[in-house]
Amino acid sequence: MRRLLPALAAALLLAGAACGSERQQAPPRPTPTPTLAGSAPAGDRVVTDMAGRAVRLPARVERVVVTAPAAADYARALGLEVIGQPSDIPPAAGAQPVGSTLNPDFPAIAALAPDLVIGDAAVQGARIADFDRFTVPVYLVKAADYLSILDAIERLGAAVGREEEAAALRGDVEARVVAAALAARERRGAAGPRVLVLTGAGRDTFAAGPATYVGNLLSILGAENALANPPEGGPLPGFGVIDVGQAALLAPDVVLVLPAADGGLDTLIRSDPAWATTPAVRDGRVHVLDRMLFLRAPGPRIAEAIETLLVLLYPAP
């Protein structure tokens, strides 16, 4: 049963929305292993995942394959044994590569014979039909702001029989997020800094609005998003196209860069004459963020993410 947030936590939080998945063209679907025929073994349970799918689970879940970065974080945080993971996240001992996040290798997953596959509906929506036909049960998480992450911890923990671990994890996340929010309140004075979050490179530059994962984190810490209403056209929901030179007119106190594949956006900002007089460049407050932590994997590492932002936005005296 979902428990109520402490009153203090609820008072500190502002509404946030999902950052969603990158708008990349989905690769061709692999042919999944055919669904097994016959009735489910005795003791199986049926749960509803965060994509609204009915998932039949074995009585005990221990060995899992994860198909997305956030799914890996949830599984490990709950103490599950991860025996397979996508190739586009850092390798981990005991976990075999099973394709990429956008193109899972279903035969490789089946060969590992996991108890459960855990995926992420936010970035693998194009694969749901494949997951539905797969021989191994697939539970999809879907969370991209603070409150939905807490819900995902609790729901996945209940699904895999790790209620105690989920309660402890949720309690730790809540305590750390609330502590960071309180510290930010004490340090910020009358108003928080104006923050601009950018990604991309050169002409293809995009800014994050409030309705993104990182925008949700900024709101928790009482910072002002310099781009309150991002224009449409970005590659991610909640991100808008922006010209780097024109963005300097927003005069942010802090610039946070989510590095793209080519990198170099932070160097461009620091060297562009249009940015020279902005508070962010003048005060040396242009920072590069970990793309996995702040964009690709909203999940139980949110406490680490918000503690990182606290130091960047409100340095201790």
What domains does the chain contain, in order, with CATH numbers? Answer: 21-143 (3.40.50.1980), 189-313 (3.40.50.1980)
The whole-number pLDDT of residue 307 equals: 98
Q: Specify the pLDDT at position 36.
A: 41
Residue 298 has pLDDT above 90, yes or no: yes
Q: Which of 261, 262, 213 has its CA nearest to residue 236?
A: 213
- Give the pLDDT mean for 176-194: 93
Using the predicted structure, report yes or no on whether residue 6 has a pLDDT greater than 50. Answer: no
Q: Is the dihedral of CA 210, 212, 213, 214 positive or negative?
A: negative
Give the residue with greater pLDDT, 18 vs 160. Answer: 160
pLDDT in the model for residue 81: 98
Per-residue buried b or exposed e for 119-140, using 16+ beta carbons within 10 Å of the residue's own CB: bbbbbbbebeebbeebebbbbb
The pLDDT of 82-96, averaged and rounded, is: 96
Q: For residue 41, is pLDDT > 90? A: no
Note whether 6 and 147 are within 8 A (CB).
no
pLDDT at residue 19 tops 90: no
Confidence category of residue 260, pLDDT binned at 50, 70, 90: confident
Give the range among 134-148, 204-218, 234-248 with minimum mean pLDDT: 234-248
Query: Higher confidence at residue 69 or residue 188?
Result: 69
| Confidence at 13, pLDDT banded by 50, 70, 90 | very low
pLDDT of residue 204: 84
Residue 42 has pLDDT above 50, yes or no: no
Burial of 278-295, coded b for 16+ CB within 10 Å and e otherwise, reads: bebbeeebbbebeeebbb
pLDDT over 90 percentage in the chain = 74
Cα-Cα-Cα-Cα torsion 188, 191, 193, 198, nearest 10 degrees, comes to: 130
Distance in angstroms (rounded) separating the CA atoms of residues 75 and 86: 13
Higher per-residue pLDDT: 82 or 21: 82
Taken in order 117, 121, 127, 133, the sign of the CA dihedral is positive
pLDDT recorded at residue 26: 43
Give CA–CA dist 230/238, Å, rounded. Answer: 7
Give the integer Cα–Cα distance in Å for 85 and 144: 20
- Amino acid occupying residue 69: P
Indicate the pLDDT class of residue 7, thresholds 50, 70 and 90: very low
Write out the E strands in the chain: 45-48, 54-57, 63-66, 81-85, 96-97, 116-120, 138-141, 194-201, 204-208, 224-225, 239-241, 254-259, 286-288
> What confidence score (pLDDT) does residue 294 get?
96
Instruction: Flag the least confident range among 58-72, 117-131, 186-200.
Output: 186-200
Q: What is the mean pLDDT of residues 5-18?
A: 36
pLDDT of 129 higher than 60: yes
pLDDT band at 200 (very low <50, low <70, confident <90, very high): confident
Residue 186 is predicted with a pLDDT of 93
pLDDT band with cut points at 50, 70 and 90 for residue 24: very low
Return the pLDDT at 316: 80
Give the percent of the chain with pLDDT over 70: 85
The stretch 62-72 carries a mean pLDDT of 98
pLDDT at 12: 35
